[in-house]
Amino acid sequence: MSFSQRLNKVPLTSRDNLSQITGKLEVNLRLIDRVHVGSGGLKLKSKDPILIKRLAKEIISGKDISRIGVEAVNLVFIEQDFVRVGNKVCIPGSTIKGLIRSRLELMAGKRGNDVVASACLSIPSRPLTQPLPIGTPGWRHVRIWDKAVTVLREGESFLEEELVSELCPICNLFGAPHISSRVFFNDFYCEDRCEVTTCVFKDYGMRLEVLEPNSVFRGGVILRGVTLEELGLLLIGMGFDGNQFKPVLIGRMKYAAEGFGKVRFEVIKLIVSEYAIKYLEGVGISLRCIDFNYIIDGDELRKLLNLAFNEARKKFPDIEPFSESEEKDRLNVNLNLTRCSV
């Protein structure tokens, strides 16, 4: 079987390797729009218990089932809370990791068939031959990421008994079945201006608990023996374009609703272990030592982010920065966006 997009593979990095960059990246996530990240605990609420009883009686008595169905469609709505750990509103680290990884996978294939892609698709799907019709599940996702979902890309399989020697750079960094990750995401907690409200989507029969714009979540990413170009990949996944962090979309209804899902990452500082000193000084980055911690922030951090970004663009040229949030704004009128009412 021939593939349209071949994979740009790299040698498997030893999971024990701590040289290069081992440390913690302190990261903020600032909400630009309202955001909902669901707890998974779904509550179905009935709007009208008297009507439900009447319909139940009609079903039992064998009345016209299709007419009962029409009435029943609008009876129930979904209610979902924001994720909480303890009493604190939180975005799970796994959600952040999934967001960054899938953005990289989609960016890698964005330019079409003639690209050697630097990412396999961790969730492979049959490429689309034509755009999904309006209203079918995922149609807005397809409009926004277009080429990335219409190409056929070489896949990867990681069988337990097989010895993996090379793999795509994204699996090498983020892990794959039987291959552990080299980046670990903490849960992000809302620490600043956390305003929790609810939003109702009438067309969807749904009430979501949301965080209002300007809420700030704080979290971190632990790096384990990561190279400069891999740090660059991580930054591109977070929306970095070499100058600034562009907005990205997160959570439920991010493609479907206006004024919903837009956030911006901010990298605050990098705290590294002594394993990283030699490597970082070798690329011209100076570190400050405070209380036995080696810290990179301010101008030196900006220099490191730029170096890492340029290195990633050089090694993985097919992964071009892309903001699905800007694309959503650009396509706005064609996306039939819905609005929530408070």
Distance CA 39, CA 240 (A): 28
Q: Which is nearer to Zn ion, 156 or 229 (CB)?
A: 156
Instruction: Report, in Å, the least distance between residue 156 CB and Zn ion.
Output: 4
Q: Which is nearer to Zn ion, 176 or 272 (CB)?
A: 176
> Taking CB under 5 A as the rule, does residue 285 contact Zn ion?
no
Token pair for 100 = 């960054």
Token pair for 1 = 């079987």
Instruction: Report, in Å, the least distance between residue 191 CB and Zn ion.
Output: 34
- 3-class SS at 332? helix
Instruction: Report, in Å, the least distance between residue 16 CB and Zn ion.
Output: 21
Q: Which is nearer to Zn ion, 259 or 317 (CB)?
A: 317
Distance CA 252, CA 188 (A): 17
Which residues in 156-195 contact Zn ion (CB under 5 A)? 156, 168, 171
Burial of 342 (0-12, 13-18, 19+ CB in 10 A): exposed
> Taking CB under 5 A as the rule, does residue 81 contact Zn ion?
no
> Taking CB under 5 A as the rule, does residue 233 contact Zn ion?
no
> Taking CB under 5 A as the rule, does residue 318 contact Zn ion?
no
Q: Which of 29, 90, 120, 208 binds Zn ion (CB under 5 A)?
A: 120
Which residues in 323-342 contact Zn ion (CB under 5 A)? none
Length of the chain measured in residues: 342
Distance CA 265, CA 263 (A): 7
Q: Which is nearer to Zn ion, 3 or 339 (CB)?
A: 3
φ, ψ for residue 5, nearest 5 deg: -110, 115
Distance CA 172, CA 180 (A): 9
Q: Which is nearer to Zn ion, 25 or 171 (CB)?
A: 171
Residues that bind Zn ion (CB under 5 A): 120, 156, 168, 171
